[in-house]
């Protein structure tokens, strides 16, 4: 069991500069703590709560920006895809294609992502039981691609609220694939601010810690130098300058968890 | 307030023959009861629980089959779209484009559907509060298209279960658009049979009745001559031969409800 | 199937005068509409959200007030009990003993209530599935008392929110006992105002109507001449002067529902 | 921040012998691991799913059995109370009075428990938001007793299912009182076996670990030499012979968590 991987970056890839700043800083933080690091950012926000929410750089500019982060910082990158057609071009740049939670049952997209040969990170839909991920994994596996990650990002719990069921982590691990805890979106309050989503940033480290103690392959944490000015998910992103202490703590829990694995 | 519209048909458009049989029978039933009728069927099941679930006729064959139903039976037709690209060709045939619940926040698809000028029926996501539909309506309205319907089809309630919150109907009506009660998918048990969804067919008429009593523009009910042999949603489709009594009852409740509208 | 029974009154039995005013007015309203009527009020609020919430008249004064309503107005009365010891004295006055939802699994209280021989109205706990009411019914039946009513009052749905699952009504009816729809507490927002519960009064008629259309034995509706000054459940009680129109409408739906019963 | 306290024992106090066996073994296990230990068992199961479920030794025999455990093993004991009247006699023996989750809003019982001067452990109702515990704490504090513990034991999540929201732990800690994670009842499936509750014993250690990593004052774990023969909560109790490894692991996480406390 390898040490924890940290998937981190800003929600939206606002600019090349922001991407390089966050990726560079996170690479240092993770190296210092002994964690693997993957840069994450979105080139398009295709399902914003409201029409007036910004969409981002778009596919072409976005892929250039991701490539520049890879080139300048030397880290693998993850980004989300939104249609079948995006999978192949995105896989030219991204090391990990991420399937958004709302789209996790769209068969054609899962197949297109699988066929690229890239790692496919599937977010469990907010409407899905953990044991249903087996059916989704089978869709990707049918392409011959078994480089699969499964991510917990919270489950619908009444209106405008998610709950992270910790049983989900060992349940999804029974597929045999690494499990990722998305500590950022688990504490999102979807649509909670009327025209945009709210969030409880203060609980993201709590979720990350609980998950790492149970034992996961990776944590997914959105971070930004100044979350309150970010175009999306500001309320649940963590301040970049709080990441060193958080990652260091998580690595301590990770070492302990992997020395004493849970058996379910 | 016009009399209730009934949107009904088989979940999957299995064949031209099945389409014509169901549409023909439903047209008679609705005429007898004084209801408007719209034929519904899907040409592609793009988000099946499992890979082995049948997909259907596909876009080309499916549109031909829908056209044949329109021509032969003389009824308007509704079908669901799954990508931006499908919107324009489907609108050549279908009178109503339906946005699947999982996809109800995908901005580009909402815009593409709106731009066709066809009626757009948006299913409320299982993960969405009723009051969030205002943001979604705004996306479609931005195209200049205000021919919009909003459908309740159940909300996530624990795992493998949905609950239909009746408050959703007057809440969505506050947008000013007609509201549709999907009595079939409200009683679905998503993923409840492992490799496919379960359902509680016996409660579909209960849901339809409650909704019509509150006051809705339309009910959406999937029906089939032999649901237990249907390729999808068999457990929650209603037997075609039970539709005359159901529609007749619903029309009685509709008349009473519209004579005494709720005010919220 | 007899016409609908209306169980109505103020949440708390604030005074003899208020009790007689509401009971007298509701008796007239129900007679005019052809409904059976039962007066409802609580002599003690034993589980207020916060300590500073008023408790009410207490057992002795409360029973005298209930008796005065029976004597002066000539209607049967329902009130809730909170301990085993209260059952016998309350049954000296009340025609129906009501088991509060939080207490619906307390075996000794169910037995004590059953042993009085009075009608026992059991509210389904917010934490209970409808099909679990069979086990609870068995507890009361073990005393030889089969004068049982089962009430739907909403189920926990995330935090501070309830949802009324309409499937619950025919499911509970499968026990063979009459089912009551509590339209008031189904729209409560438990703890929603911090130190007290909130509510959505505007949806109570919606819930009542949906339930009556499905077919129930009774509706339970809290009402007050001036809900905003009431000591408890003000946000979800209905104005007394809106009851004539509501009851009249419900009776129309009741007649239709009982002419065309659902079969589940 | 003191080391973790372990509250453990069989669900039901079946006999003096079972009590002494479990208490004796758990005392050794906790001493070896450096944990504080409190014995837990119930003398009465007052809210069994069904009438045929065993109730236990009853108050008089039960208190004698608890006293014998205290005398013979020399450990503090916790047991639950079910009525106001039970509080004083139980406090003659028990060090900690536990308020069952269903009863956590019953004002008179909270006051009676507080007035004994014993420690009062309040289980958060399955229907309650974590932030509502402040109102409940105020009820006990009004007696002058501030020896209070607050326990998370899962929240209603659809039917027959609970979910443990890890945010609840730091939220309840904001009251200033120690928080307990009940790892056993969080994985209960209420009513899940028809006439009794089901459970997912395999996830109890997962919940305990996640909670301890976040930082709690105590864990509550039911254990039995042979859970499958136990009269209640068998499906979610842990085998006594698995406790040494579990407690040892939890103490390692506890040390790490308390060295690096979360701040919310």
A128-173 residue pLDDT tens: 999 999 999 999 999 999 999 999 999 999 999 999 999 999 999 9
Residues in chain D with CB shorter than 8 Å from the CB of A203 are 167, 170, 264
Interhelix angle for D243-259 vs D16-33, to 10°?
40
A187-241 pLDDT tens trace: 999 988 888 889 999 999 999 999 999 999 999 999 999 999 998 888 999 999 9
CA nearest to B240, candidates B3, B5, B11, B69: B11
| Per-residue pLDDT at B60 | 94
Q: In chain C, which residue's Cα lies nearest the Cα of B248? A: C260
Q: In chain C, which residue's Cα lies nearest the Cα of A157? A: C158
Residues in chain D with CB shorter than 8 Å from the CB of C139 are 50-51
Tokens encoding B73: 């039976």
**A139: buried, middle or exposed (CB in 10 Å: 19+, 13-18, 0-12)?**
buried
B122-148 pLDDT tens trace: 999 999 999 999 999 999 999 999 999
Residue of higher predicted confidence among D193 and B208: B208
Arithmetic mean of pLDDT, A38-45: 94
Contact: A163, D170; criterion CB under 8 Å: no
Per DSSP, the three-state class of A197 is coil
Say yes or no to pLDDT of D192 above 90: no
Our CA-based measurement puts residue A158 at a distance from the nearest CA of chain C, in whole angstroms, of: 4
Instruction: Give me the residue from A166, A187, A256 closest to D164, CB to CB.
Output: A166
Mean pLDDT for chain D overall = 96
Instruction: Give the C-alpha separation, B171 to B173, whole Å.
Output: 5
Q: A103: how many CB neighbours lie within 10 A of its CB?
A: 24
C59-69 pLDDT tens trace: 999 999 999 99
Say yes or no to pLDDT of A251 above 90: yes
Residues in chain A with CB shorter than 8 Å from the CB of D165 are 157, 163-164
Place of tokens 């060193």: A244
Mean pLDDT for chain C overall = 96
How far is the first Cα of chain C from the last one, in angstroms, to the nearest whole number?
A: 17
Our CA-based measurement puts residue A75 at a distance from the nearest CA of chain D, in whole angstroms, of: 29
Its sign, for the CA torsion B136, B140, B146, B152, is: negative
B211-245 pLDDT tens trace: 999 999 999 999 999 999 998 888 999 999 999 99
Which residues of A sit within 8 Å Cβ distance of C?
Answer: 157-159, 161, 163
| Per-residue pLDDT at D209 | 98
Residues in chain B with CB shorter than 8 Å from the CB of A198 are none
Q: What does the CA dihedral C137, C142, C148, C154 come to, rounded to 10 degrees?
A: -20
Say yes or no to pLDDT of B51 above 90: no
Instruction: Give me the residue from D164, D200, D262 closest to A209, CB to CB.
Output: D262
Size of interface B-D (CB pairs under 8 A): 13
Angle subtended at Cα C43 by Cα C207 and Cα C193, rounded to the nearest 5 degrees = 55
Our CA-based measurement puts residue C74 at a distance from the nearest CA of chain D, in whole angstroms, of: 33
pTM of the predicted model as reported, rounded to 2 decimal places = 0.97
Instruction: Give me the residue from B163, B209, B257 closest to C262, CB to CB.
Output: B209
Its sign, for the CA torsion D128, D131, D134, D135, is: negative
Instruction: Give the C-alpha separation, C114 to C138, whole Å.
Output: 11
D52-68 pLDDT tens trace: 888 899 999 999 999 99
Which residues of D sit within 8 Å Cβ distance of A?
Answer: 155, 157, 163-167, 169-170, 187, 200, 202-203, 205-207, 209-214, 249, 252-253, 256-257, 260, 262-264
Q: CA of A122: how far to CAs of A63, A103, A153, A170, B69, in Å?
A: 20, 9, 10, 16, 39
Instruction: Give me the residue from D167, D187, D252 closest to A206, CB to CB.
Output: D167
Arithmetic mean of pLDDT, A37-46: 94
CB contact at 8 A, C78 and C98: yes
The residues facing A238 across adjacent strands are: A223
Residues in chain A with CB shorter than 8 Å from the CB of C158 are 157-159, 161, 163
Instruction: Give me the residue from C164, C170, C249 closest to B166, CB to CB.
Output: C164
Instruction: Give the C-alpha separation, B208 to B187, whole Å.
Output: 11
Confidence of residue C194 (pLDDT cuts 50, 70, 90): confident
Residues in chain A with CB shorter than 8 Å from the CB of B164 are none
C207-233 pLDDT tens trace: 999 999 999 999 999 999 999 999 888
Instruction: Give me the residue from B163, B257, B262 closest to C165, CB to CB.
Output: B163
Q: In chain C, which residue's Cα lies nearest the Cα of A156? A: C158
Instruction: Give the C-alpha separation, B127 to B228, whole Å.
Output: 29
Contact: C161, A159; criterion CB under 8 Å: yes
Size of interface A-D (CB pairs under 8 A): 81
- What letter does residue D222 receive in the DSSP assignment? E
Instruction: Give the C-alpha separation, B106 to B121, whole Å.
Output: 14
Instruction: Give me the residue from C82, C131, C191 closest to D129, CB to CB.
Output: C191
Residues in chain B with CB shorter than 8 Å from the CB of C207 are 166-167
Q: Hey, of A155, A158, A187, which one would you mutate to test binding to chain C, going by the most C CBs within 10 A of its CB? A: A158
Give the whole-number percent of chain A exceeding pLDDT 90: 89
Contact: B157, D161; criterion CB under 8 Å: no
Instruction: Give me the residue from A55, A82, A127 closest to B126, CB to CB.
Output: A127
Confidence of residue C48 (pLDDT cuts 50, 70, 90): confident
| Per-residue pLDDT at D23 | 98
Q: In chain B, which residue's Cα lies nearest the Cα of A190? A: B128
CA nearest to A10, candidates A37, A43, A46, A35: A43
Our CA-based measurement puts residue C192 at a distance from the nearest CA of chain D, in whole angstroms, of: 9
| Per-residue pLDDT at B105 | 96
Q: C24: how many CB neighbours lie within 10 A of its CB?
A: 16
Instruction: Give me the residue from C166, C200, C256 closest to B207, CB to CB.
Output: C166
| Per-residue pLDDT at A53 | 84
Per DSSP, the three-state class of A205 is helix
D80-121 pLDDT tens trace: 999 999 999 999 999 999 999 999 999 999 999 999 999 999
Residues in chain B with CB shorter than 8 Å from the CB of A144 are none
| Per-residue pLDDT at B52 | 86
Q: A229: how many CB neighbours lie within 10 A of its CB?
A: 9
Listed in sequence order, the DSSP H helices in C215-260 are: 243-259
Residues in chain B with CB shorter than 8 Å from the CB of A139 are 50-51
| Per-residue pLDDT at B49 | 87
CA nearest to B46, candidates B3, B73, B79, B68: B79
CB contact at 8 A, B88 and B99: no
Confidence of residue C25 (pLDDT cuts 50, 70, 90): very high
Tokens encoding B92: 């050549």
Q: CA of A42: how far to CAs of A154, A242, B178, D27, D184, in Å?
A: 19, 22, 35, 53, 40
Arithmetic mean of pLDDT, D186-205: 91
Which residues of D sit within 8 Å Cβ distance of C?
Answer: 46-51, 55, 82-84, 102-103, 105-108, 125-132, 135, 138-139, 142, 155-156, 159-160, 190-191, 195
Q: In chain D, which residue's Cα lies nearest the Cα of C111? A: D51
Contact: C82, D106; criterion CB under 8 Å: yes
Our CA-based measurement puts residue A157 at a distance from the nearest CA of chain C, in whole angstroms, of: 5
Contact: B107, A55; criterion CB under 8 Å: yes
Q: Which of A55-59, B22-26, D26-30, D212-216 has the lowest mean pLDDT?
A: A55-59
Q: Which chains touch B (3 or more CB pairs under 8 A)?
A: A, C, D
Our CA-based measurement puts residue B255 at a distance from the nearest CA of chain A, in whole angstroms, of: 32
The residues facing A6 across adjacent strands are: A37, A219
Contact: C46, D108; criterion CB under 8 Å: yes
Confidence of residue B195 (pLDDT cuts 50, 70, 90): confident
CA nearest to B133, candidates B154, B151, B111: B151
Which residues of C sit within 8 Å Cβ distance of A?
Answer: 157-159, 161, 163
Contact: A202, D163; criterion CB under 8 Å: no
Cα radius of gyration (chain C): 17
Confidence of residue D46 (pLDDT cuts 50, 70, 90): confident
Confidence of residue A67 (pLDDT cuts 50, 70, 90): very high
| Per-residue pLDDT at A75 | 98
| Per-residue pLDDT at A94 | 98
Contact: B161, D157; criterion CB under 8 Å: no
| Per-residue pLDDT at C188 | 94
Burial of C130-150, coded b for 16+ CB within 10 Å and e otherwise, reads bbbbbbbbebbbebebebbbb
Residues in chain C with CB shorter than 8 Å from the CB of D102 are 102-103, 105-106, 125, 127
Place of tokens 């939220």: D171
Residues in chain A with CB shorter than 8 Å from the CB of C163 are 158
CB within 8 A of A231, min separation 6: which ones?
A: A11, A12, A14, A45, A53, A54, A56
Q: Hey, of C169, C208, C210, which one would you mutate to test binding to chain B, going by the most B CBs within 10 A of its CB? A: C210
Contact: A47, B128; criterion CB under 8 Å: no
ipTM above 0.90, yes or no: yes
């Amino acid at each position: 069991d390898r040490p924890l991987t940290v998937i981190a970056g800003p929600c939206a890839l606002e600019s090349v500069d922001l991407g390089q700043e966050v990726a560079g800083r996170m690479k240092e933080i993770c190296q210092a703590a002994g964690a693997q690091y993957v840069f994450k950012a979105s080139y398009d926000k295709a399902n914003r709560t409201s029409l007036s929410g910004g969409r981002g750089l778009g596919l072409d500019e976005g892929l250039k920006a991701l490539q520049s982060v890879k080139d300048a910082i030397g880290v693998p990158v993850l980004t989300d895809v939104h249609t079948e057609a995006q999978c192949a071009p995105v896989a030219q740049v991204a090391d990990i294609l991420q399937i958004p939670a709302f789209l996790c049952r769209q068969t054609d997209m899962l197949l297109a992502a699988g066929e690229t040969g890239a790692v496919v990170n599937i977010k469990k839909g907010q409407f899905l039981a953990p044991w249903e991920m087996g059916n989704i994994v089978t869709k990707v596996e049918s392409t011959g691609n078994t480089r699969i990650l499964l991510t917990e990002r919270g489950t619908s719990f009444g209106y405008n609220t998610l709950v992270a069921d910790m049983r989900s982590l060992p349940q999804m691990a029974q597929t045999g694939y690494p499990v990722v805890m998305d500590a950022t979106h688990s504490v999102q309050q979807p649509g909670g601010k009327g025209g945009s989503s709210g969030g409880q940033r203060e609980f993201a480290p709590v979720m990350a810690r609980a998950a790492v103690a149970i034992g996961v392959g990776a944590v997914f944490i959105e971070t930004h130098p100044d979350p309150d000015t970010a175009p999306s998910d500001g309320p649940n992103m963590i301040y970049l300058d709080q990441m060193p202490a958080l990652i260091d703590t998580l690595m301590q829990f990770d070492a302990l968890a992997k020395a004493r694995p849970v058996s379910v």
